[in-house]
């Protein structure tokens, strides 16, 4: 199921129900976009979509003393009854100036990928994902997210309002080049979130994360005092006042200070070898935050969404022949995925010993390429092994030195 190049703009929901005097057991379900149901193991994609100025002024409020059932919050987008086996891929999504919550994925999706997702100037939350098995976020921006109504003060127990919730059921999370700024919440996050190459700065909150979950971990990130992790910077990221968030001044401490592993490198400017392609800056080492890393895209591309034909997805899993083969010292391994799925791509020798793990992560549907570099390995026959969606495929390659 796919939604491509859609605009949901200037919608107004009028709900005559009076929520101010009684606890109404039926939450307000007004949404700009609402999907309920679907089939098992379904791949659901939303790409190149804009949500702007959607209003629901008579939403169901929350206040201290309400039980969990009555704390259901409104959202602009909701995927309901996602369920086990469902995989979501949200890419190039812009949501701004909506007066209820942001994006809600309910009922434990198996895998969620979010690339170039921007949510700003919404209330209640930016993204809520209930119990994902795996979550990958790359180049996402959450700005000016604020609380709404008289929410339960700390130490609250069952909390729905924060910038990002993922991990009601503990899962694997990977957040790269994410920017969270100018948000005002009682708490900022819920769930065991792992941030890398990110900026979490200028936010006003009582507590960093929900008391029932592990606190987020940060590495190679610009963070506010009290946030734990390694190789972090506690300095103002210096956003460009003229261009605005998320663009950085040339003097920003976020430029060229992300994880030095080349897998995180900024895109190279083809006209200036060795220098990063805008909106990244400086050299090729990762720029922390939304504008850095190999997945960076200009924010302008999200403001004016242009129609384009969606590429056809592969019909089945396929591990294609490596090229070149025989090879020295590197060969390219290509494979196809019909659905977004966690995959493992490994290299084994003739003794059945694993000598390399090339990929071990959640990937979107489509065609993928990975370079196998054989430095340090002896000449001989090796087997490339792909494990995905319950299937195993293998290809033989020959290393000649």
The model's pLDDT over 318-356, given as tens digits with 9 standing for 90+, comes to 999 999 999 999 999 999 998 878 899 999 999 999 999
Which uninterrupted H or E stretch holds 315? none
Q: Is the pLDDT of residue 304 over 50?
A: no
Distance CA(59)–CA(144), nearest Å, equals: 20
Number of other residues whose CB lies within 10 A of the CB of residue 2: 11
* d(C-alpha 76, C-alpha 355), whole Å: 47
Q: Percentage helix, strand, coil, to 5, in the chain?
A: 5, 45, 55
Q: How far apart are alpha carbons 275 and 273 in whole angstroms?
A: 6
> Which helix (H) or strand (E) segment is 301 a member of?
helix 300-303
- Is the pLDDT score of 299 beyond 60? no
Instruction: Give me the sheet containing 127-129, strands edge to edge.
Output: 33-36, 75-80, 101-105, 127-129, 164-166, 184-190, 204-209
DSSP 8-state class, residue 268: B
pLDDT digits (tens, 9 = 90+) for 229-288: 999 999 999 999 888 899 999 999 999 999 999 999 999 998 889 999 989 999 999 999
Whether the model pTM is above 0.85: no
pLDDT band at residue 296 using 50, 70 and 90 as cut-offs: confident
DSSP string, 223-255: E-TT--EES-B-S---B-TTT-TT-B-TT-TTT
φ/ψ region of 191 (left if φ > 0, alpha if ψ in -120 to 50, else beta) reads left
The first and second tokens of residue 174, run together, are 């990977």
pLDDT tens, residue by residue, 209-235: 877 778 899 999 999 998 989 999 999
SS3 (DSSP) at 300: helix
Give residues with Cβ within 8 angstroms of 181, minimum separation 6: 142, 143, 199, 200, 201, 202, 203, 239, 245, 246
Number of Cβ within 10 Å of residue 144's Cβ equals: 17
């Amino acid at each position: 199921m796919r939604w491509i190049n859609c605009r949901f703009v200037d919608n107004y929901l009028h709900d005559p129900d009076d929520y101010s005097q009684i606890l109404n057991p039926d939450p307000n379900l007004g949404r700009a976009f609402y999907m309920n149901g679907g089939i098992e193991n379904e791949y659901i994609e939303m790409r190149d979509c804009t949500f702007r100025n959607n209003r629901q002024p008579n939403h169901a409020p929350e206040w201290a003393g309400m039980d969990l059932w009555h704390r259901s919050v409104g959202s602009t987008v909701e995927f309901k009854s996602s369920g086990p086996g469902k995989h979501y891929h949200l890419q190039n999504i812009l949501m701004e100036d909506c007066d209820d919550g942001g994006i809600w994925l309910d009922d434990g999706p198996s895998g969620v990928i979010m690339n170039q997702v921007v949510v700003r100037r919404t209330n209640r939350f930016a993204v809520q994902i209930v119990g994902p098995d795996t979550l990958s976020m790359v180049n996402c921006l959450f700005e000016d997210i604020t609380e709404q109504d008289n929410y339960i003060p700390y130490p609250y127990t069952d909390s729905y309002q924060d910038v990002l919730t993922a991990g009601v059921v503990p899962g694997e999370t990977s957040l790269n080049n994410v920017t969270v700024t100018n948000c005002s919440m009682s708490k900022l996050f819920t769930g065991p979130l792992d941030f890398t190459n990110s900026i979490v700065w200028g936010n006003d909150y009582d507590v960093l994360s929900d008391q029932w979950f592990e606190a987020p971990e940060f590495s190679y990130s610009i963070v506010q005092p009290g946030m734990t992790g390694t190789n972090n910077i506690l300095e103002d990221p210096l956003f460009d006042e003229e261009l605005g968030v998320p663009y950085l001044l040339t003097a920003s401490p976020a430029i060229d200070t992300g994880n030095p592993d080349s897998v995180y490198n900024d895109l190279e400017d083809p006209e200036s070898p060795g220098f990063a392609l805008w909106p990244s800056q400086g050299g090729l080492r990762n720029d922390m935050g939304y504008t850095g890393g190999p997945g960076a895209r200009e924010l302008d591309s999200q403001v004016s969404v242009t129609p384009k034909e969606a590429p056809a997805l592969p019909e089945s899993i396929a591990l294609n022949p490596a090229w070149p083969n025989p090879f020295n010292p590197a060969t390219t391994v290509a494979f196809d995925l019909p659905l977004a799925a966690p995959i493992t791509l490994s290299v084994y020798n003739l003794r059945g010993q694993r000598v390399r793990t090339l990929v071990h992560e959640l990937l979107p549907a489509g065609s993928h390429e990975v370079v196998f570099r054989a430095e340090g390995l002896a000449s001989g026959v090796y087997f490339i092994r792909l494990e995905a969606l319950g299937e195993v495929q293998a290809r033989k390659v020959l290393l000649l030195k």
